[in-house]
Amino acid sequence: MTANAQIMELQSMWEDQIDTSEFSFKTQNYLQISEEEFLDLYDAQPSFGMFRDNYFITGVPTNKDINKQTADVKYQISVSQRLIKSRLPFRTSLLLTYTQKSFWDIYENSSPFADNNYNPGITLIRPVLINQQLKGGVALSLEHESNGLDSIYSRSWNFITLSGVYFYNANISLQGKIWAGVLGDENKDLFRYRGFGLLALNYRSYNDNFWASLVLNPSKKFNVVNTIVELNFKPIPSSNQYLFLQWYNGYGENLYDYNQYTSMVRFGLCIKPAMRNFY
């Protein structure tokens, strides 16, 4: 199949909202395409879409008694709007991003929200192609994260992140992310618990029906490694909705209780971005 034919097939799948995992890869398991052709195809896609995983899950702790006070619901909403196509220097594109992560004590009386974390940002992103093979991407972001409260209940920080993802093959990808920033008055020791970066290892099946991820986030002194394990299974191959299992173990899962250790196993539904996601 020629490069132009591949582009037309992949673009048709996008337009018809068909799972891009149906695309036939070369023997190297990479998309064979020139950088110019790939960027033209990327720029032709809808400007608004998902940024990170969107999910709704509920679960229980593994390190304490299970009851109405310790079980909860966690959900994440993450979207992006492309502001400028890949015509900036170094063929980067500019995105406006927003991610909200909420922790809902739904089983308690009156079902209060324990914490809401709001994370707007602006991101420069660029795919990396080598020898007409899509090898990964890099992103530079300016972000804010806060829980929307004031006084002694406020938690916030402004920060810069540099992320990179490497596609080892069609199944395995590696991601690294580092950050630095200015911390709010009520969370001056946030880096002690969240550290300065993370590493992620991702696996996806050829048919895109199964995903597995391991995320490691060392604390500042490396005496604790916050760990996330995620498993996704797609029961209906033609959809992009997954059954989703997540285990979070460590500190900093939410902003309000960032200095409290948690170990939570949750299960629910997840919708994944068409062209994969950054943590």
Indicate whether 2 pLDDT > 60: no
Check 47, 144, 205, 263 and give the catalytic one. 144
Backbone angles phi, psi at 7, to 5 degrees: -60, -45
Residue 154 is labelled as binding a ligand: yes
Residue 151 is labelled as binding a ligand: no
* pLDDT tens profile 115-126: 999 999 999 999
Predicted local confidence at residue 129, as pLDDT:
87
Within its chain, how far is the Cα of 271 from the centroid? 11
* pLDDT tens profile 69-80: 999 999 999 999
Annotate 201-253 with DSSP letters as a single string: EEEE-TTS-EEEEEEEEE-TTSS-EEEEEEEEE-SSTTS-EEEEEEEEEES-S
- Which residues have C-beta within 8 Å of that of residue 196, sequence separation ≥ 6? 178, 179, 180, 220
Residue 219 falls in the annotated catalytic set: no
Predicted local confidence at residue 17, as pLDDT:
40
- Tell me whether residue 124 is exposed, middle or buried, using C-beta atoms within 10 angstroms of its C-beta: 0 to 12, 13 to 18, 19 or more: middle
Predicted local confidence at residue 20, as pLDDT:
39
The pLDDT of 95-105, averaged and rounded, is 98
Name the band, by pLDDT with cuts 50, 70 and 90, for residue 14.
very low
Residue 80 falls in the annotated catalytic set: no
Instruction: Give the start-to-end residue ranges of the domains of the chain.
Output: 3-271
* pLDDT tens profile 187-217: 999 999 999 999 999 999 988 899 999 999 9
Check 146, 156, 163, 213 and give the catalytic one. 146
Domain 3-271 has CATH 3.40.190.10: no
